[in-house]
Amino acid sequence: DPQQAVADLMRGMGALSAGELAGERIAVAYETQDQEDEHSCFSDNTMADVVGNAAGIRLAYTADWDGVDGTSLADVVAEVEPELGEALSSQLDANVAAAEALAAEGTFEEVIAADDDSEGRTQMLALVESLQAQGDAIAELGAALGYEISLEI
């Protein structure tokens, strides 16, 4: 069912953005400042995971893979809700860039352990808030398209 597939895609994008990535994978460790709450605490790969997750959400929307042709969700949205679609595209791009900038601040452990007013922690909190807003924007777009999108994980 194509309609269910679109709803599932949007739910996955929204839940990963707002709940899983912003909440479970970043905010918990940000709040506790405990390495044990880091998403990839054993492999120390969390910064790469954060960047990859943000990029993956964008790829799910744009379907911009080499060798893949077809209509993406972004293409459909551009036809029916162009303003919301453009706003979401900009937000997706900004969050990937913010995740990459955060990764340049050091390891995840270094950033979560730093002082609250440090550049890395300031960027981390801003990314959490922006990812949550992105999830809300995905749910809003879903509603505009006639879907009820839950962000619960």
The predicted-structure confidence for 85-102, as pLDDT tens digits, reads as follows 999 999 999 999 999 999
pLDDT reported for residue 73:
96
107 backbone φψ class: left, alpha, beta (φ>0; ψ -120 to 50): beta
This prediction has a pTM of 0.94
Burial class (CB in 10 A: 0-12, 13-18, 19+), 66: exposed
**CA–CA distance, 141 with 149 (Å, rounded to integer):** 9
**CA–CA distance, 6 with 77 (Å, rounded to integer):** 11
CA dihedral (121, 123, 126, 131) in degrees, to 10, reads -110
In sequence order, what are the residues at sequence separation of 6 or more whose Cβ sits closer than 8 angstroms to the Cβ of residue 123? 98, 101, 102, 105, 111
pLDDT reported for residue 42:
80
Q: How do residues 24-52 score in pLDDT, each as one tens digit? A: 999 999 999 999 998 887 888 999 999 99
